[in-house]
Amino acid sequence: MADNKNQAQGKSLGTRIALIVAAAAIVCIAHFIPCPEGLTYAGKMAIGLMVAGIVLWVTEPVPMAISGLVIMVMVPMFGISPYNNATDAATGAMTLGIWANFISNVIFFILASFGITSALLKTKVPAKIVFSLMKLTKGNAKTTVLMFMIATGVVSAFVSNLPCAALFAGIAMSNVIELEQKNAGADTKHTKNLGKALMIGIPYAAIMGGMITPAGSALNIMTINMLRNATDGVASIAFLDWVIMCAPIAIVLLFVAWASVVLVFKTDRISDATVAAIRESGASIGKLDAFDWKALVIILGMIAAWIASNWTGWDATAIAVIGMALFFLPGIDVLNWKEFVSSVQWNIVLLIGCVQSIAGGIKDSGAAAWIFSSTVGKIGASATALVAAVAVVLPLLHLIVPVGPAIIAVSIFPLAGMAPALGASPVTFAIIIAYNANASFLLGVDSCNMMTYKYNQWTMKDFVVAGIIPTVAMVLLHTFALAPLVAMVGY
C-alpha cells in the first residue's frame, strides 16, 4: 500500500505539494506585479526566484539540492542570465551563464575538504587531542567541557563542521556522559547538566573552530569567492589574512560560549570512577602509528602551504586538491575512492553551486544594486551604524532562513555594494555574513547543532537559553572589534 507520508522529509504528500505550490505562486506574483522604480524585469524575477528558493530550502518538500537545481535552470527563462556564456555585440562584455557560475573553485575546494576530513577522522589524532587535554581537567566538570570544546575547535579549523561535531559528540557521550550516568546516577542534576553543557558546547566549538581558517567551512570559501565576484575582484581575502581577522573573534566566542554553558548548566565534580575510566580510555588509544603520521604530515603540509600562499600566491583550492590526491598515492593509501565518495555530502555541493549561480543572476540583473539603493542607500547611515545594524539583523535572519548558502547569496552583493559608499570595507560585511551563515547560537535545529541533539541530552529551550550570551557577544564583537581587525590587515 502506498504511504501518504514521505519518510525522509517527515511531511504529508499534501503538505509537500502545498509548499511547492506556494513557491510557484511567489514566482507568478513576481512576474505579474509592476516593476518597482529602478528595478528591471530581470532583477524583479531574480529576487522572486531567490525568495521562492528560500521557501523551498527552509521547508524542504523536496531535497534542497533538487529545488536548487530547478530554480537555477529557471533563471535564463526570465532573461536574468543566459544558459551559456554570452558576449554583448556592442560592448564586447561577457555575461557568464548559469553553468559557468555553478562551477567555481568553491566546488572543488568543498570536494577536497570532504576527502581531507575523511582522512583525518580515520586517524587517532582527534581522540589523542581530546585525551591529552583531558589530563589537565583532574575531574573538574567545567574544565572537562572546556577541553572538549578546545579539541573540537582545533580540529574543526581544518575539517568540516558537521563530521567534526559528530565525532567529538560520540567521544563525549561514550567516554564521559554515559560513564558519569553510571557512576554518579543518570537522574542527578549534575549528570543532566554535564550532558547539556557538553552536547551544546561541542557544536558551538565546531562552528567557531570552523571560522578560524577558510578551510574550516565550505561556507567560508563560498563567501570569499562571492565577495570577489561582488567587487569584480577588488576584494579578495588571502588565507592568512582570514585567520588574522577571524581567529581572534572565533577564539573569544568559543570561550564565551563555554562560560555560558557552564554558567547555565551548573555541574559538580566528575566522579573518581569516571576519571579513572577516562584515563584508561586515553591510554588504550596508544601512540600514533605510520598510518596516522602519513595523514598528519600531509595535512600539516597543506596548512603550511595555505599560510605561505599569502606570499607565494599559490591557489588555496589547488593546494587542497593536491593534498587530497596525496592520500591516494601508492604507499600512502590513507583514502580509497569508495571512502572518498561516501564522505562527500552531495546535497551541500549541489546547493552551494546552485545558489552561486542564482546569486550571479541577482548581481548581473541589477537586483543587488537596487536592494542597496532602495534601502540603506536612502538612509545615508554611517559605516559604524551599518556594521552594527548588520551585526544585529543577520543572527535574526538566520532564525528565519536557516540555510547558510542562501544567507550569503542574499546578503553579500547588496552589502559589498554599499560598503564603499559609506567608507566601509566590504570585507567587514563578508566576515559578518560568513559567521552568521555558519553559526546560530539560538537555533537548535541548525544542521551542526542537530549532530548532538540526537543524543537526547538537551531541549530546544536549553539551546536558546545557553545561546543568548554568545549571540550578544558575537554582535558586540562584530560591531566594535571586527572593523579594526580588517583595517589592521589592510582591507
pLDDT in tens, 77-124: 999 999 998 877 667 677 788 998 898 888 999 999 999 999 998 999
Indicate if the pLDDT at residue 2 is higher than 80: no
H or E segment at 482? helix 482-489
Indicate if the pLDDT at residue 373 is higher than 90: no
Residue with cell 557568464: 96
- pLDDT, position 184: 87
Give the C-alpha separation, 212 to 252, whole Å.
11
Indicate if the pLDDT at residue 52 is higher than 80: yes
Give the C-alpha separation, 427 to 223, whole Å.
10
Indicate if the pLDDT at residue 446 is higher than 50: yes
Q: Please, which contacts does 180-185 make with residues 24 or more away whose CB atoms are closer than 8 Å? A: 180/270, 180/271, 180/274, 183/271, 183/273, 183/274, 183/277, 184/270, 184/271, 184/274
- pLDDT, position 203: 96
Lowest mean pLDDT among 5-19, 171-185, 309-323, 330-344: 5-19
- pLDDT, position 377: 58
DSSP letter at 414 equals H
- pLDDT, position 370: 84
Identify the three-state secondary structure at position 247: helix
Which residues touch 485 (CB under 8 Å, ≥6 apart)? 244, 245, 248, 249
Indicate if the pLDDT at residue 181 is higher than 60: yes
Give the C-alpha separation, 28 to 344, whole Å.
35
Give the C-alpha separation, 247 to 253, whole Å.
10
> Mean of the per-residue pLDDT values for the chain?
91
C-alpha 79: how far from chain center: 31
C-alpha cell at 48: 522572486
pLDDT digits (tens, 9 = 90+) for 253-301: 999 999 999 999 999 999 999 999 999 999 999 899 999 999 999 999 9
- pLDDT, position 289: 95
Residue with cell 558575537: 474
Identify the three-state secondary structure at position 489: helix
Q: How many CA atoms lie within 13 A of 456 on its CB side?
A: 2
Identify the three-state secondary structure at position 95: strand
Please state at what angle helix 141-156 crosses helix 189-210, rounded to 10 degrees.
Answer: 20
Using alpha carbons, list the distances in angstroms from residue 209 to 166, 269, 439: 14, 27, 11
Share of the chain above pLDDT 70, in %: 95
Residue pair 477/483 in contact (Cβ under 8 Å)? The answer is no
The predicted model gives 197-208 an average pLDDT of 97
Which residues touch 94 (CB under 8 Å, ≥6 apart)? 85, 86, 87, 88
Give the C-alpha separation, 281 to 40, whole Å.
64
Residue with cell 551604524: 385
Give the C-alpha separation, 306 to 296, whole Å.
15
In which band, very low, low, confident or very high, does the pLDDT at 5 lie, cut at 50, 70 and 90?
A: very low
Indicate if the pLDDT at residue 447 is higher than 90: no
Q: pTM of the entire structure?
A: 0.89
Q: What are phi and psi of 5, to 5 degrees?
A: -110, 140
Residue pair 248/213 in contact (Cβ under 8 Å)? The answer is no
Identify the three-state secondary structure at position 6: strand
Closest by alpha carbon to 50, among 20, 71, 78? Answer: 71
- pLDDT, position 138: 87
- pLDDT, position 382: 78
Q: Residue 201 CB: number of other CB atoms within 10 A?
A: 26
Q: What is the CA radius of gyration of the chain?
A: 23
**Cα separation of the two ends of the chain:** 62
Identify the three-state secondary structure at position 184: helix
Residue spans of alpha helices (H) in 211-336: 218-230, 239-264, 272-285, 290-312, 316-326
